Amino acid sequence: MRIKDARVIVTSPGRNFVTLKIVTEEGVYGIGDATLNGREKSVVAYLEDHVCPLLIGRDARQIEDIWQLLYRGAYWRRGPVTMRAIAAVDVALWDIKAKSADMPLYQLLGGRSREKVMVYGHANGGDIAETVDAVGQYIDMGYKAIRAQTGIPGVKDAYGVGRGKLFYEPADATLASVTGWDTRKALNTVPKLFEMLRATYGFDHHLLHDGHHRYTPQEAANLGKMLEPYQLFWLEDVTPAENQEAFKLIRQHTVTPLAVGEIFNTIWDCKDLIQNQLIDYIRATIVGAGGVTHLRRIADLASLYQIRTGCHGATDLSPVTMGTALHFDTWVPNFGIQEYMRHSPETDDVFPHDYSFDKGFLICGETPGHGVDINEELAAKYPYDQRQLPIARLEDGTMWNW
C-alpha cells in the first residue's frame, strides 16, 4: 500500500486549520491535523517542503517506521512545528490503516475500555456572577465537568473570558492584542468564584480551573491551598513547566490535583513530572505530541504512576484531532477526562464527523478510520486569515505569560 500523494489543505472556517491528506495508490486516503495556533504557516512549510516529498512511495502501513524516520531522520528533534508535522502524518496513516482494516480506530488500538468519554466544557464570565450563571447553563446541558474562568476586577481581558457562549476563540487579532495580568487581584478573585460555585450548585459536579502559566511556584502553591475546600477536579498549568522541578514546591503544599501538558511535544517534556508523581493529569494530545503513536507512549508511562489523561481540546485543535482523541480516549486504560470546546457550525461543516455529544459525554462513531473527513470544496471557500494569540503585560508594562 504505497503513498501516492501527500498534500496540505489550509482553511479558515471561523478560524485557521491546517490539514494533511495522504492518498495511497489503492485510493484509500487519511487525514491528519497539523494546526499550530497563530503560527500555522510554519507547519505548512515544514510539511510541504520537507516531509511530503519524503513520504511518496513509502508503504503507508509502516506507521512506526515512518514516525521514526521523521523524528530521528531530521536530526533536529522535538519542538511544536516538527511534532505537529509528525502528528499529522501519524494520524493520517492510522486513519488509512483503520479504513483498510474496516474498523473504527479504537478497535485497532485494543478495543473499548469504556462506553463513552467524559468531557468538560468552558464556562466563562466577565465577573463571578456571570461565570456562576454560565456554569449553570452547562449543568443544564448535562455536563458532569465544567471549567470555570472569570474576569478579574481591575485586569483588562483576564485569561479565559470568552466571546461566545459555548466556545471561546483566543486568537482574535491579526497581530497579538495586549491583555493585562495582576496576580494579587487574581488570588483575591479565583477562590471567591469557587466558593460561590460550590455554594450555588453543591459538590456533585467536577469543577476545573486553568491558571494559564500565570503564577510563580509559590503563588501556585498558595492558590492550590486556597482552593482545597472546593475540591477541584484539577488546577491546570498553574506555573510554566519548562522547569519540571518547579512542581515539587507546589506539590509539597497542596493536595489540589494538578494538570499540565497542553504545550508539551514529547514524553521528555513530562518525564520528570510523571516519574516524580508531581502531577495528576497529563494534558498532552494527539496533534501536540506526535500523534497516536507517541501519545500512547506518554499515557503508558503515566499509567505506571496512576496519572490519568486529560487531552487538550480547545477550538484550535481541529475536529480531526477531536475525533482521533475520542478513539484514543475510548481505548486508553488510564483515561481521566477530555476537554471539549465546541467548534463553530462553519468548522463542523468543513469537517464532517461522526462523534456525538450526549449529556456530558462524547461518543466516537463506528465509521472505519478516525471518523472525520474534510469537505475540500467547502474548505477552499475559506482562505487563510492571519490571526495571533494575545499577549499579557503587567500594569507597569512588563511582559508576562499569556
Active site (catalytic) residues: 159, 212
Relative to beta strand 206-210, strand 391-393 is unpaired
- Taking residue 141's Cβ as centre, other Cβ atoms within 10 Å add up to 13
Secondary structure (H, E, C), 367-399: CCECCECCCHHHHCCCCCCCCECCEEECCCCCE
Identify the sign of the CA torsion 370, 376, 381, 384.
positive
Which of residues 212 and 370 has its CB atom nearest to Mg ion in the complex? 212
Out of 262, 269, 280, 373, the only residue in the binding site for ligand GCO (CB under 6 A) is: 262
Out of 210, 219, 280, 373, the only residue in the binding site for ligand GCO (CB under 6 A) is: 210
With beta carbons less than 8 A apart as the criterion, state whether 321 and 374 touch. no
- Taking residue 165's Cβ as centre, other Cβ atoms within 10 Å add up to 13
Rounded to whole angstroms, what are the CA distances from 139 to 101, 120, 360? 39, 11, 9
Which of residues 99 and 212 has its CB atom nearest to ligand GCO in the complex? 212
C-alpha cell at 402: 499569556
170 touching ligand GCO, by CB under 6 A: yes
193 binds, among Mg ion, ligand GCO, none (CB under 5 to 8 A by kind): none
- Least distance (Å) between residue 329 CB and ligand GCO: 16
329 binds, among ligand GCO, Mg ion, none (CB under 5 to 8 A by kind): none
Helix (H) / strand (E) containing 288 = none
316 touching ligand GCO, by CB under 6 A: yes
- Least distance (Å) between residue 383 CB and Mg ion: 29
170 binds, among ligand GCO, Mg ion, none (CB under 5 to 8 A by kind): ligand GCO
- Least distance (Å) between residue 342 CB and ligand GCO: 12
With beta carbons less than 8 A apart as the criterion, state whether 227 and 194 touch. yes
- Least distance (Å) between residue 316 CB and ligand GCO: 4
Footprint of ligand GCO on 327-356 (CB under 6 A): 339
Binding site for ligand GCO (CB under 6 A): 37, 170, 210, 212, 262, 314, 316, 339, 389
